[in-house]
Structure 1
Amino acid sequence: MTSHWPQARVAHALQPPQSAARSGRFELALSRHGARTHIGRQYVSYPFHMTRPFALDAAIPSLLTVYQQSSSGGLYRDDRLLSRFDVGAGASGHVTTQAATVVHDCHGQPAHQATEIVLEDGSFLALTPDPLVLFPGAACSSVTRATLAPGAVLLLSDAFALHDPEGRGRPFDRLEAKVDIRDADGRLLVRDNLDVCGLQLAGTASPIGEWKVASNFMLLGAPDRLPTPDELAALGRQERQIAGITALPNGAGWGVRCLAADAIAARGIAECLFVLAVAAAFGQRPVPRRK
Protein backbone atom coordinates (compact mmCIF):
# COMPACT_ATOMS: atom_id res chain seq x y z
CA MET A 1 0.00 0.00 0.00
CA THR A 2 1.29 3.44 -0.86
CA SER A 3 1.15 6.21 1.72
CA HIS A 4 2.05 9.86 1.40
CA TRP A 5 5.47 11.10 2.50
CA PRO A 6 5.32 14.51 4.18
CA GLN A 7 6.75 17.10 1.80
CA ALA A 8 8.83 18.76 4.51
CA ARG A 9 10.67 15.48 4.91
CA VAL A 10 12.20 15.69 1.44
CA ALA A 11 12.61 19.43 1.17
CA HIS A 12 16.41 19.12 1.12
CA ALA A 13 16.58 15.85 -0.79
CA LEU A 14 17.80 15.50 -4.32
CA GLN A 15 15.11 16.89 -6.58
CA PRO A 16 15.02 16.06 -10.28
CA PRO A 17 14.91 19.18 -12.46
CA GLN A 18 11.41 20.37 -13.33
CA SER A 19 10.36 19.04 -16.69
CA ALA A 20 7.34 17.98 -18.67
CA ALA A 21 8.99 14.56 -19.03
CA ARG A 22 7.90 11.49 -17.11
CA SER A 23 8.90 11.62 -13.44
CA GLY A 24 8.65 9.11 -10.62
CA ARG A 25 9.48 8.79 -6.93
CA PHE A 26 10.34 5.81 -4.74
CA GLU A 27 10.78 6.86 -1.11
CA LEU A 28 11.10 4.46 1.76
CA ALA A 29 11.87 4.71 5.49
CA LEU A 30 12.90 1.64 7.48
CA SER A 31 12.80 1.49 11.28
CA ARG A 32 13.78 -1.09 13.88
CA HIS A 33 11.13 -2.46 16.24
CA GLY A 34 12.43 -5.14 18.57
CA ALA A 35 14.40 -7.69 16.58
CA ARG A 36 12.82 -6.77 13.25
CA THR A 37 12.90 -4.00 10.67
CA HIS A 38 9.62 -2.59 9.39
CA ILE A 39 8.60 -0.12 6.71
CA GLY A 40 7.53 3.26 8.02
CA ARG A 41 6.75 6.08 5.61
CA GLN A 42 6.63 5.24 1.93
CA TYR A 43 5.74 6.92 -1.33
CA VAL A 44 5.80 5.05 -4.64
CA SER A 45 4.67 6.55 -7.94
CA TYR A 46 4.76 5.40 -11.57
CA PRO A 47 6.88 4.00 -13.12
CA PHE A 48 8.05 2.51 -9.82
CA HIS A 49 6.15 -0.34 -8.19
CA MET A 50 6.56 -2.22 -4.94
CA THR A 51 4.65 -5.22 -3.65
CA ARG A 52 5.40 -6.22 -0.07
CA PRO A 53 8.65 -6.51 1.89
CA PHE A 54 10.19 -9.90 2.55
CA ALA A 55 11.81 -11.29 5.70
CA LEU A 56 13.93 -13.90 3.91
CA ASP A 57 16.57 -14.58 6.53
CA ALA A 58 15.33 -16.37 9.64
CA ALA A 59 18.80 -16.07 11.18
CA ILE A 60 18.88 -12.30 10.51
CA PRO A 61 15.41 -11.05 11.53
CA SER A 62 16.45 -7.39 11.29
CA LEU A 63 17.24 -7.66 7.55
CA LEU A 64 14.23 -6.71 5.40
CA THR A 65 14.31 -7.20 1.61
CA VAL A 66 12.43 -4.96 -0.84
CA TYR A 67 12.20 -5.35 -4.62
CA GLN A 68 12.15 -1.98 -6.35
CA GLN A 69 10.17 -2.80 -9.48
CA SER A 70 9.29 -0.93 -12.66
CA SER A 71 6.15 -1.26 -14.74
CA SER A 72 7.37 0.84 -17.68
CA GLY A 73 9.74 -1.44 -19.61
CA GLY A 74 12.89 0.52 -18.83
CA LEU A 75 14.27 4.04 -18.94
CA TYR A 76 13.32 6.44 -21.74
CA ARG A 77 14.47 9.85 -22.90
CA ASP A 78 14.31 12.61 -20.32
CA ASP A 79 12.94 10.37 -17.56
CA ARG A 80 13.36 11.98 -14.12
CA LEU A 81 13.39 9.36 -11.36
CA LEU A 82 14.07 9.97 -7.67
CA SER A 83 14.73 7.36 -4.98
CA ARG A 84 15.22 8.05 -1.29
CA PHE A 85 16.03 5.60 1.51
CA ASP A 86 16.05 6.53 5.20
CA VAL A 87 17.24 3.71 7.45
CA GLY A 88 16.73 4.24 11.17
CA ALA A 89 19.07 3.34 14.01
CA GLY A 90 19.71 -0.41 14.09
CA ALA A 91 17.44 -1.09 11.10
CA SER A 92 18.62 -3.14 8.12
CA GLY A 93 17.45 -3.29 4.54
CA HIS A 94 18.26 -4.87 1.22
CA VAL A 95 16.83 -3.09 -1.83
CA THR A 96 17.23 -4.77 -5.20
CA THR A 97 15.40 -4.92 -8.53
CA GLN A 98 13.39 -7.66 -10.19
CA ALA A 99 15.68 -7.74 -13.24
CA ALA A 100 18.08 -5.67 -15.33
CA THR A 101 16.83 -2.27 -16.55
CA VAL A 102 16.89 -1.47 -20.27
CA VAL A 103 17.87 2.08 -21.22
CA HIS A 104 16.29 2.81 -24.60
CA ASP A 105 17.45 5.22 -27.30
CA CYS A 106 17.15 8.62 -25.63
CA HIS A 107 17.50 10.70 -28.82
CA GLY A 108 19.94 13.08 -27.16
CA GLN A 109 17.85 13.62 -23.99
CA PRO A 110 19.36 11.49 -21.20
CA ALA A 111 17.29 9.72 -18.58
CA HIS A 112 18.08 11.04 -15.09
CA GLN A 113 18.20 9.06 -11.85
CA ALA A 114 18.81 10.58 -8.40
CA THR A 115 19.22 8.59 -5.19
CA GLU A 116 19.53 9.91 -1.65
CA ILE A 117 20.42 7.65 1.28
CA VAL A 118 20.50 8.48 4.99
CA LEU A 119 21.77 5.80 7.38
CA GLU A 120 21.46 6.30 11.13
CA ASP A 121 23.58 4.73 13.88
CA GLY A 122 24.24 1.01 13.46
CA SER A 123 22.02 0.64 10.40
CA PHE A 124 22.67 -1.41 7.26
CA LEU A 125 21.60 -0.98 3.65
CA ALA A 126 22.53 -3.00 0.59
CA LEU A 127 21.34 -1.22 -2.56
CA THR A 128 22.03 -3.75 -5.32
CA PRO A 129 20.04 -3.10 -8.51
CA ASP A 130 20.67 -5.36 -11.48
CA PRO A 131 22.70 -3.80 -14.32
CA LEU A 132 21.55 -1.16 -16.76
CA VAL A 133 21.39 -2.58 -20.29
CA LEU A 134 22.41 0.19 -22.66
CA PHE A 135 20.70 -0.02 -26.06
CA PRO A 136 22.00 1.93 -29.07
CA GLY A 137 21.52 5.65 -28.44
CA ALA A 138 20.95 5.15 -24.71
CA ALA A 139 21.98 8.00 -22.43
CA CYS A 140 21.69 7.99 -18.65
CA SER A 141 22.86 10.28 -15.87
CA SER A 142 22.72 9.23 -12.23
CA VAL A 143 23.60 10.99 -8.98
CA THR A 144 23.82 9.17 -5.64
CA ARG A 145 24.35 10.90 -2.30
CA ALA A 146 24.66 9.02 0.97
CA THR A 147 25.16 10.05 4.59
CA LEU A 148 26.42 7.47 7.09
CA ALA A 149 26.18 7.76 10.86
CA PRO A 150 28.65 5.89 13.12
CA GLY A 151 28.37 2.12 12.95
CA ALA A 152 26.35 2.14 9.72
CA VAL A 153 27.18 -0.03 6.69
CA LEU A 154 26.30 0.64 3.06
CA LEU A 155 26.78 -1.61 0.04
CA LEU A 156 26.26 0.18 -3.28
CA SER A 157 26.15 -1.58 -6.63
CA ASP A 158 26.24 0.07 -10.05
CA ALA A 159 26.66 -1.98 -13.24
CA PHE A 160 26.03 -1.71 -16.95
CA ALA A 161 26.01 -3.92 -20.01
CA LEU A 162 25.98 -3.13 -23.73
CA HIS A 163 23.43 -4.61 -26.11
CA ASP A 164 22.36 -3.99 -29.69
CA PRO A 165 19.17 -6.00 -30.38
CA GLU A 166 20.02 -6.00 -34.11
CA GLY A 167 23.53 -7.30 -33.52
CA ARG A 168 25.17 -4.49 -35.53
CA GLY A 169 27.42 -3.22 -32.78
CA ARG A 170 25.78 0.20 -32.58
CA PRO A 171 27.00 2.12 -29.50
CA PHE A 172 25.05 3.71 -26.70
CA ASP A 173 25.30 7.50 -26.39
CA ARG A 174 26.62 8.33 -22.90
CA LEU A 175 26.65 7.13 -19.30
CA GLU A 176 27.37 9.40 -16.33
CA ALA A 177 27.37 8.34 -12.68
CA LYS A 178 28.34 10.47 -9.68
CA VAL A 179 28.52 9.26 -6.07
CA ASP A 180 29.12 11.36 -2.93
CA ILE A 181 29.51 9.71 0.47
CA ARG A 182 29.54 11.84 3.64
CA ASP A 183 29.63 11.20 7.37
CA ALA A 184 26.95 12.37 9.81
CA ASP A 185 28.73 15.73 10.19
CA GLY A 186 28.64 16.35 6.45
CA ARG A 187 32.34 15.67 5.86
CA LEU A 188 33.04 14.30 2.40
CA LEU A 189 34.49 10.79 2.60
CA VAL A 190 34.38 9.54 -0.99
CA ARG A 191 33.54 11.05 -4.36
CA ASP A 192 33.42 8.87 -7.46
CA ASN A 193 32.66 10.04 -11.02
CA LEU A 194 32.11 7.99 -14.16
CA ASP A 195 31.65 9.61 -17.57
CA VAL A 196 31.91 7.36 -20.60
CA CYS A 197 30.86 7.77 -24.22
CA GLY A 198 29.57 4.75 -26.09
CA LEU A 199 31.99 5.30 -28.94
CA GLN A 200 34.86 4.82 -26.46
CA LEU A 201 33.72 1.25 -25.84
CA ALA A 202 32.89 0.39 -29.44
CA GLY A 203 34.96 -1.72 -31.80
CA THR A 204 38.22 -3.59 -31.35
CA ALA A 205 39.90 -0.67 -29.53
CA SER A 206 37.46 -0.84 -26.59
CA PRO A 207 39.31 -0.63 -23.23
CA ILE A 208 37.07 -3.37 -21.83
CA GLY A 209 37.73 -5.69 -24.77
CA GLU A 210 35.31 -8.59 -25.03
CA TRP A 211 33.96 -8.18 -21.51
CA LYS A 212 30.18 -7.65 -21.57
CA VAL A 213 29.33 -6.28 -18.11
CA ALA A 214 31.17 -3.66 -16.04
CA SER A 215 30.34 -3.34 -12.34
CA ASN A 216 31.33 -0.86 -9.65
CA PHE A 217 30.71 -1.55 -5.96
CA MET A 218 31.33 0.45 -2.81
CA LEU A 219 31.31 -1.21 0.60
CA LEU A 220 31.34 1.53 3.20
CA GLY A 221 31.05 2.04 6.93
CA ALA A 222 32.23 0.70 10.26
CA PRO A 223 35.48 -1.28 9.70
CA ASP A 224 34.50 -3.97 12.21
CA ARG A 225 31.36 -4.67 10.14
CA LEU A 226 33.10 -4.93 6.75
CA PRO A 227 34.74 -7.93 5.07
CA THR A 228 38.50 -8.28 5.46
CA PRO A 229 40.91 -7.85 2.54
CA ASP A 230 41.53 -11.60 2.55
CA GLU A 231 37.80 -12.30 2.22
CA LEU A 232 37.45 -9.83 -0.64
CA ALA A 233 40.49 -11.28 -2.40
CA ALA A 234 38.40 -14.29 -3.42
CA LEU A 235 36.32 -12.08 -5.74
CA GLY A 236 37.05 -12.41 -9.43
CA ARG A 237 38.88 -15.72 -9.17
CA GLN A 238 36.21 -17.60 -11.09
CA GLU A 239 36.38 -17.96 -14.85
CA ARG A 240 34.71 -15.27 -16.96
CA GLN A 241 35.24 -12.50 -14.38
CA ILE A 242 37.98 -10.27 -13.01
CA ALA A 243 37.95 -7.87 -10.06
CA GLY A 244 40.09 -5.13 -8.58
CA ILE A 245 39.83 -4.06 -4.92
CA THR A 246 40.87 -0.66 -3.59
CA ALA A 247 40.87 0.86 -0.12
CA LEU A 248 38.69 3.98 -0.30
CA PRO A 249 39.97 7.33 1.02
CA ASN A 250 39.44 8.48 4.61
CA GLY A 251 39.14 4.89 5.78
CA ALA A 252 35.64 4.79 4.31
CA GLY A 253 35.74 1.16 3.20
CA TRP A 254 36.37 -0.74 -0.03
CA GLY A 255 35.86 -0.10 -3.71
CA VAL A 256 35.46 -3.08 -6.02
CA ARG A 257 35.47 -2.82 -9.82
CA CYS A 258 34.65 -5.87 -11.92
CA LEU A 259 34.42 -7.02 -15.52
CA ALA A 260 32.39 -10.06 -16.48
CA ALA A 261 32.04 -12.07 -19.67
CA ASP A 262 28.25 -12.24 -19.42
CA ALA A 263 25.28 -11.50 -17.19
CA ILE A 264 25.57 -14.83 -15.35
CA ALA A 265 29.16 -14.17 -14.33
CA ALA A 266 28.29 -10.58 -13.33
CA ARG A 267 25.45 -11.78 -11.14
CA GLY A 268 27.73 -14.33 -9.53
CA ILE A 269 30.24 -11.74 -8.38
CA ALA A 270 27.48 -9.38 -7.19
CA GLU A 271 25.87 -12.15 -5.16
CA CYS A 272 29.22 -13.16 -3.68
CA LEU A 273 29.91 -9.60 -2.54
CA PHE A 274 26.43 -9.31 -1.03
CA VAL A 275 26.99 -12.53 0.94
CA LEU A 276 30.36 -11.25 2.20
CA ALA A 277 28.84 -7.91 3.22
CA VAL A 278 25.96 -9.48 5.14
CA ALA A 279 28.15 -12.10 6.81
CA ALA A 280 30.59 -9.44 8.00
CA ALA A 281 27.85 -7.15 9.32
CA PHE A 282 25.66 -9.80 10.99
CA GLY A 283 27.80 -12.91 11.46
CA GLN A 284 25.35 -14.92 9.34
CA ARG A 285 25.19 -15.67 5.62
CA PRO A 286 22.00 -14.56 3.82
CA VAL A 287 19.80 -16.96 1.89
CA PRO A 288 19.86 -16.64 -1.93
CA ARG A 289 17.62 -13.91 -3.39
CA ARG A 290 15.23 -15.08 -6.09
CA LYS A 291 14.86 -13.09 -9.30
Structure 2
Amino acid sequence: MTSHWQPPPPGEASVPAATTGVPAGRFELAFLRHGGRTAVGRQFVSYPFHLTRPFALDSAIPSLLTVYQQSSSGGLYRAERLACRYDIGARAAAHVTTQAATVVHDCHGQPARQTVEIALEEDAFLALTPDPLVLFPGASCVNRLEAKMAPGAVLLLADAFALHDPLGAARPFDRLASEVVVRDAAGRLLLRDCFRVTGEALVGPSSPVGGWRVVSSFLLLGDPARLPVREDLAALAPDGHAVAGVSTLPNGAGWGVRCLAADAVAARRVAELLFSISVRAAFGSAPAPRRK
Protein backbone atom coordinates (compact mmCIF):
# COMPACT_ATOMS: atom_id res chain seq x y z
CA MET A 1 0.00 0.00 0.00
CA THR A 2 1.25 3.46 -0.87
CA SER A 3 0.69 6.29 1.57
CA HIS A 4 -0.13 9.87 0.61
CA TRP A 5 1.38 11.08 3.88
CA GLN A 6 4.90 12.41 4.09
CA PRO A 7 7.44 10.14 5.79
CA PRO A 8 8.47 11.05 9.34
CA PRO A 9 11.64 13.07 9.92
CA PRO A 10 14.91 11.11 9.90
CA GLY A 11 15.28 8.98 13.00
CA GLU A 12 11.66 9.29 14.06
CA ALA A 13 10.38 6.29 12.11
CA SER A 14 12.53 3.90 14.13
CA VAL A 15 11.00 5.00 17.45
CA PRO A 16 8.06 2.73 18.37
CA ALA A 17 4.89 4.55 19.39
CA ALA A 18 4.87 2.69 22.71
CA THR A 19 8.20 4.26 23.72
CA THR A 20 7.14 7.78 22.84
CA GLY A 21 3.88 7.57 24.76
CA VAL A 22 2.02 8.84 21.69
CA PRO A 23 0.16 6.00 19.97
CA ALA A 24 -0.68 6.80 16.36
CA GLY A 25 -3.08 5.36 13.80
CA ARG A 26 -3.88 6.28 10.21
CA PHE A 27 -6.85 5.68 7.95
CA GLU A 28 -6.33 6.91 4.41
CA LEU A 29 -8.53 6.24 1.39
CA ALA A 30 -8.77 7.57 -2.14
CA PHE A 31 -12.03 7.16 -4.06
CA LEU A 32 -11.97 7.17 -7.87
CA ARG A 33 -14.73 7.14 -10.47
CA HIS A 34 -14.59 4.23 -12.93
CA GLY A 35 -17.39 4.38 -15.49
CA GLY A 36 -20.64 4.66 -13.57
CA ARG A 37 -19.19 3.45 -10.27
CA THR A 38 -16.83 4.58 -7.53
CA ALA A 39 -13.96 2.37 -6.35
CA VAL A 40 -11.34 2.57 -3.63
CA GLY A 41 -7.91 3.39 -5.04
CA ARG A 42 -4.94 4.15 -2.83
CA GLN A 43 -5.39 3.04 0.77
CA PHE A 44 -3.41 2.90 3.99
CA VAL A 45 -4.92 1.56 7.21
CA SER A 46 -3.04 0.99 10.47
CA TYR A 47 -3.99 0.04 14.04
CA PRO A 48 -6.39 0.75 15.65
CA PHE A 49 -8.33 1.24 12.42
CA HIS A 50 -9.73 -1.66 10.42
CA LEU A 51 -11.29 -1.80 6.97
CA THR A 52 -13.15 -4.81 5.59
CA ARG A 53 -14.46 -3.93 2.14
CA PRO A 54 -16.55 -1.19 0.55
CA PHE A 55 -20.25 -1.68 -0.10
CA ALA A 56 -22.41 -0.69 -3.07
CA LEU A 57 -25.68 -0.36 -1.13
CA ASP A 58 -27.65 1.88 -3.47
CA SER A 59 -28.87 0.28 -6.68
CA ALA A 60 -30.43 3.60 -7.73
CA ILE A 61 -27.12 5.43 -7.14
CA PRO A 62 -24.38 3.14 -8.46
CA SER A 63 -21.75 5.87 -8.14
CA LEU A 64 -22.16 6.02 -4.32
CA LEU A 65 -19.78 3.72 -2.42
CA THR A 66 -20.07 3.14 1.35
CA VAL A 67 -17.21 2.35 3.73
CA TYR A 68 -17.46 1.46 7.41
CA GLN A 69 -14.47 2.69 9.38
CA GLN A 70 -13.94 0.19 12.19
CA SER A 71 -11.74 0.18 15.28
CA SER A 72 -10.27 -2.77 17.16
CA SER A 73 -9.11 -0.81 20.22
CA GLY A 74 -12.33 -0.17 22.16
CA GLY A 75 -12.31 3.60 21.91
CA LEU A 76 -10.02 6.61 22.29
CA TYR A 77 -7.38 6.71 25.01
CA ARG A 78 -4.97 9.08 26.73
CA ALA A 79 -2.56 10.88 24.38
CA GLU A 80 -3.71 8.85 21.36
CA ARG A 81 -3.12 10.39 17.93
CA LEU A 82 -5.36 9.33 15.05
CA ALA A 83 -5.21 10.75 11.53
CA CYS A 84 -7.54 10.25 8.55
CA ARG A 85 -7.40 11.43 4.96
CA TYR A 86 -10.00 11.13 2.20
CA ASP A 87 -9.31 12.02 -1.44
CA ILE A 88 -12.44 12.02 -3.60
CA GLY A 89 -11.76 12.08 -7.32
CA ALA A 90 -13.78 13.94 -9.92
CA ARG A 91 -17.42 12.71 -10.03
CA ALA A 92 -16.68 10.03 -7.40
CA ALA A 93 -19.10 9.62 -4.49
CA ALA A 94 -18.42 8.11 -1.07
CA HIS A 95 -20.12 7.64 2.26
CA VAL A 96 -17.78 6.99 5.21
CA THR A 97 -19.33 6.07 8.53
CA THR A 98 -18.47 4.03 11.64
CA GLN A 99 -19.76 0.73 12.92
CA ALA A 100 -20.92 2.25 16.25
CA ALA A 101 -20.37 5.11 18.67
CA THR A 102 -16.80 5.70 19.91
CA VAL A 103 -16.06 5.73 23.64
CA VAL A 104 -13.53 8.31 24.84
CA HIS A 105 -11.98 6.98 28.05
CA ASP A 106 -10.47 8.92 30.95
CA CYS A 107 -7.47 10.69 29.43
CA HIS A 108 -5.91 11.84 32.73
CA GLY A 109 -5.27 15.31 31.36
CA GLN A 110 -3.62 14.15 28.11
CA PRO A 111 -6.25 14.50 25.36
CA ALA A 112 -6.74 12.13 22.48
CA ARG A 113 -6.31 13.96 19.18
CA GLN A 114 -8.02 13.27 15.87
CA THR A 115 -7.18 15.00 12.59
CA VAL A 116 -8.98 14.62 9.26
CA GLU A 117 -7.93 15.91 5.83
CA ILE A 118 -10.36 15.91 2.91
CA ALA A 119 -9.83 16.84 -0.74
CA LEU A 120 -12.78 16.81 -3.15
CA GLU A 121 -12.28 17.25 -6.89
CA GLU A 122 -14.89 18.55 -9.36
CA ASP A 123 -18.43 17.25 -8.79
CA ALA A 124 -17.27 14.85 -6.07
CA PHE A 125 -19.45 13.86 -3.12
CA LEU A 126 -18.51 12.81 0.40
CA ALA A 127 -20.72 12.17 3.41
CA LEU A 128 -18.55 11.71 6.51
CA THR A 129 -21.01 10.66 9.22
CA PRO A 130 -19.34 8.94 12.18
CA ASP A 131 -21.52 7.90 15.10
CA PRO A 132 -21.25 10.08 18.23
CA LEU A 133 -18.37 10.23 20.66
CA VAL A 134 -19.39 8.94 24.09
CA LEU A 135 -17.49 10.98 26.67
CA PHE A 136 -16.70 9.04 29.85
CA PRO A 137 -15.66 10.83 33.07
CA GLY A 138 -12.27 12.43 32.54
CA ALA A 139 -12.45 12.10 28.75
CA SER A 140 -10.54 14.72 26.77
CA CYS A 141 -10.55 14.98 22.99
CA VAL A 142 -9.27 17.51 20.45
CA ASN A 143 -10.53 17.22 16.85
CA ARG A 144 -9.44 19.12 13.75
CA LEU A 145 -10.76 18.74 10.20
CA GLU A 146 -9.52 20.51 7.07
CA ALA A 147 -11.26 20.22 3.71
CA LYS A 148 -10.65 21.61 0.24
CA MET A 149 -13.52 21.60 -2.26
CA ALA A 150 -13.46 21.99 -6.04
CA PRO A 151 -16.43 23.41 -7.99
CA GLY A 152 -19.53 21.22 -8.02
CA ALA A 153 -18.44 19.18 -4.99
CA VAL A 154 -20.69 18.38 -2.02
CA LEU A 155 -19.56 17.58 1.53
CA LEU A 156 -21.73 16.45 4.45
CA LEU A 157 -20.02 16.43 7.85
CA ALA A 158 -21.53 15.04 11.05
CA ASP A 159 -20.08 15.61 14.52
CA ALA A 160 -21.89 14.49 17.67
CA PHE A 161 -21.19 13.67 21.30
CA ALA A 162 -22.94 12.31 24.36
CA LEU A 163 -22.08 12.25 28.06
CA HIS A 164 -22.03 8.98 30.00
CA ASP A 165 -20.94 8.00 33.50
CA PRO A 166 -21.01 4.20 33.96
CA LEU A 167 -21.52 4.73 37.70
CA GLY A 168 -24.49 7.02 37.19
CA ALA A 169 -22.86 9.69 39.40
CA ALA A 170 -22.90 12.49 36.78
CA ARG A 171 -19.10 12.76 36.83
CA PRO A 172 -18.09 15.11 33.99
CA PHE A 173 -15.73 14.58 31.11
CA ASP A 174 -12.67 16.83 31.01
CA ARG A 175 -12.94 18.83 27.77
CA LEU A 176 -13.85 18.61 24.10
CA ALA A 177 -12.53 20.85 21.34
CA SER A 178 -13.37 20.83 17.65
CA GLU A 179 -12.26 22.89 14.65
CA VAL A 180 -13.41 22.63 11.02
CA VAL A 181 -11.71 24.64 8.26
CA VAL A 182 -13.07 24.51 4.70
CA ARG A 183 -11.44 26.15 1.66
CA ASP A 184 -12.23 26.26 -2.04
CA ALA A 185 -9.91 24.85 -4.71
CA ALA A 186 -7.98 28.14 -4.83
CA GLY A 187 -7.36 28.06 -1.10
CA ARG A 188 -9.88 30.79 -0.21
CA LEU A 189 -11.37 30.34 3.24
CA LEU A 190 -15.08 29.46 3.07
CA LEU A 191 -15.77 28.43 6.63
CA ARG A 192 -14.14 28.07 10.02
CA ASP A 193 -16.32 26.48 12.70
CA CYS A 194 -14.97 25.68 16.15
CA PHE A 195 -15.99 25.16 19.76
CA ARG A 196 -14.44 24.28 23.10
CA VAL A 197 -16.43 23.01 26.05
CA THR A 198 -15.69 21.49 29.45
CA GLY A 199 -17.66 18.71 31.05
CA GLU A 200 -18.33 20.79 34.15
CA ALA A 201 -20.19 23.33 32.00
CA LEU A 202 -22.63 20.66 30.81
CA VAL A 203 -23.62 18.99 34.09
CA GLY A 204 -26.07 20.17 36.70
CA PRO A 205 -29.14 22.42 36.51
CA SER A 206 -27.25 25.26 34.80
CA SER A 207 -26.22 23.16 31.80
CA PRO A 208 -26.92 25.02 28.52
CA VAL A 209 -28.15 21.77 26.93
CA GLY A 210 -30.65 21.12 29.71
CA GLY A 211 -31.84 17.53 29.84
CA TRP A 212 -30.90 16.69 26.27
CA ARG A 213 -28.49 13.76 26.06
CA VAL A 214 -26.84 14.03 22.60
CA VAL A 215 -25.44 17.15 20.94
CA SER A 216 -25.00 17.02 17.15
CA SER A 217 -23.59 19.42 14.57
CA PHE A 218 -23.85 19.02 10.81
CA LEU A 219 -22.32 20.98 7.95
CA LEU A 220 -23.75 20.56 4.46
CA LEU A 221 -21.41 22.29 2.03
CA GLY A 222 -20.92 22.79 -1.67
CA ASP A 223 -22.70 23.51 -4.93
CA PRO A 224 -26.12 25.06 -4.12
CA ALA A 225 -27.67 23.20 -7.07
CA ARG A 226 -26.84 19.91 -5.33
CA LEU A 227 -27.87 20.92 -1.80
CA PRO A 228 -31.33 20.65 -0.23
CA VAL A 229 -33.38 23.79 0.24
CA ARG A 230 -34.29 25.11 3.68
CA GLU A 231 -37.81 23.69 3.44
CA ASP A 232 -36.32 20.20 3.11
CA LEU A 233 -34.40 20.70 6.35
CA ALA A 234 -37.25 22.23 8.35
CA ALA A 235 -38.71 18.88 9.46
CA LEU A 236 -35.55 17.17 10.74
CA ALA A 237 -36.95 16.72 14.26
CA PRO A 238 -40.71 16.17 13.89
CA ASP A 239 -41.49 13.99 16.93
CA GLY A 240 -40.43 16.09 19.93
CA HIS A 241 -37.53 13.79 20.87
CA ALA A 242 -35.09 16.24 19.29
CA VAL A 243 -34.82 19.90 18.37
CA ALA A 244 -32.87 21.24 15.40
CA GLY A 245 -31.89 24.64 14.06
CA VAL A 246 -30.77 25.46 10.52
CA SER A 247 -28.44 28.35 9.64
CA THR A 248 -27.10 29.77 6.39
CA LEU A 249 -23.31 29.50 6.35
CA PRO A 250 -21.03 32.39 5.31
CA ASN A 251 -19.63 32.82 1.79
CA GLY A 252 -22.51 30.82 0.34
CA ALA A 253 -20.87 27.67 1.72
CA GLY A 254 -24.16 25.86 2.46
CA TRP A 255 -26.11 24.92 5.58
CA GLY A 256 -25.26 24.44 9.25
CA VAL A 257 -27.54 22.30 11.43
CA ARG A 258 -27.38 22.04 15.23
CA CYS A 259 -29.39 19.40 17.04
CA LEU A 260 -30.16 18.36 20.62
CA ALA A 261 -31.64 14.89 21.11
CA ALA A 262 -33.21 13.10 24.05
CA ASP A 263 -31.24 9.90 23.43
CA ALA A 264 -29.05 8.05 20.94
CA VAL A 265 -32.07 6.69 19.07
CA ALA A 266 -33.48 10.16 18.40
CA ALA A 267 -30.04 11.50 17.45
CA ARG A 268 -29.52 8.70 14.95
CA ARG A 269 -32.97 9.30 13.46
CA VAL A 270 -32.08 12.95 12.77
CA ALA A 271 -28.66 12.01 11.33
CA GLU A 272 -30.15 9.37 9.04
CA LEU A 273 -32.86 11.75 7.83
CA LEU A 274 -30.34 14.48 7.06
CA PHE A 275 -28.14 11.99 5.19
CA SER A 276 -31.13 10.84 3.15
CA ILE A 277 -32.18 14.41 2.33
CA SER A 278 -28.63 15.30 1.33
CA VAL A 279 -28.20 12.29 -0.96
CA ARG A 280 -31.56 12.88 -2.62
CA ALA A 281 -30.66 16.52 -3.31
CA ALA A 282 -27.28 15.55 -4.80
CA PHE A 283 -28.35 12.50 -6.84
CA GLY A 284 -32.13 12.65 -7.24
CA SER A 285 -32.72 9.38 -5.35
CA ALA A 286 -32.87 8.49 -1.66
CA PRO A 287 -30.19 6.13 -0.26
CA ALA A 288 -30.87 2.66 1.10
CA PRO A 289 -30.79 2.24 4.91
CA ARG A 290 -27.33 1.77 6.44
CA ARG A 291 -27.20 -1.14 8.87
CA LYS A 292 -25.20 -0.79 12.05
TM bracket (short chain): over 0.9
Corresponding residue for residue 203 of structure 1: 204
Runs of 4+ aligned structure 1 residues displaced above 2 Å come to: 6-11
Q: Aligned residue pairs: how many?
A: 283
TM-score, normalization by structure 1: 0.95
* Distance verdict in 2 for CA 1:119–1:6, change over 3 Å: closer
**Structure 1, unaligned stretches of length 5 or more?**
12-17
Residue 8 of structure 1 and its aligned partner are, at CA, apart by: 4.9
Residue 235 of structure 1 and its aligned partner are, at CA, apart by: 1.1
The one-letter amino acid of 1:5's match is: S
The one-letter amino acid of 1:251's match is: G
Give distance in 2, aligned partners of 1:10 and 1:114: 16
The one-letter amino acid of 1:267's match is: R
Corresponding residue for residue 67 of structure 1: 68
SS at match of 1:170: coil
- The C-alpha deviation readout for 1:9-55, integer Å capped at 9, x for no partner, is 999xxxxxx95311000000000000000000000000000000000
- The C-alpha deviation readout for 1:217-244, integer Å capped at 9, x for no partner, is 0000000000011001111222210000
Residue 283 of structure 1 and its aligned partner are, at CA, apart by: 0.1
SS at match of 2:282: helix
- The C-alpha deviation readout for 1:80-134, integer Å capped at 9, x for no partner, is 0000000000000000000000000000000000000000000000000000000
- The 5-angstrom pairing of residues 68-147 of structure 1 reads 68-147=69-148
- The C-alpha deviation readout for 1:180-235, integer Å capped at 9, x for no partner, is 01000000000001100000001111010100000000000000000011001111
Give distance in 1, aligned partners of 2:123 and 2:108: 44
Are 1:229 and 2:230 matched, yes or no?
A: yes
SS at match of 1:75: coil
The one-letter amino acid of 2:59's match is: A
Corresponding residue for residue 275 of structure 2: 274
* Distance verdict in 2 for CA 1:83–1:263, change over 3 Å: same
- The C-alpha deviation readout for 1:150-187, integer Å capped at 9, x for no partner, is 00000000000000000000000000000001000000
SS at match of 2:59: coil
Are 1:153 and 2:154 matched, yes or no?
A: yes
Instruction: Tell me how large the CA RMSD over aligned residues is.
Output: 1.4
Corresponding residue for residue 13 of structure 2: none
Residue 284 of structure 1 and its aligned partner are, at CA, apart by: 0.3
TM-score, normalization by structure 2: 0.95
SS at match of 1:27: strand
- The 5-angstrom pairing of residues 168-183 of structure 1 reads 168-183=169-184
Identity percentage over the alignment?
A: 65
Corresponding residue for residue 5 of structure 1: 3
**Structure 2, unaligned stretches of length 5 or more?**
10-16
The one-letter amino acid of 1:52's match is: R
Residue 4 of structure 1 and its aligned partner are, at CA, apart by: 2.8
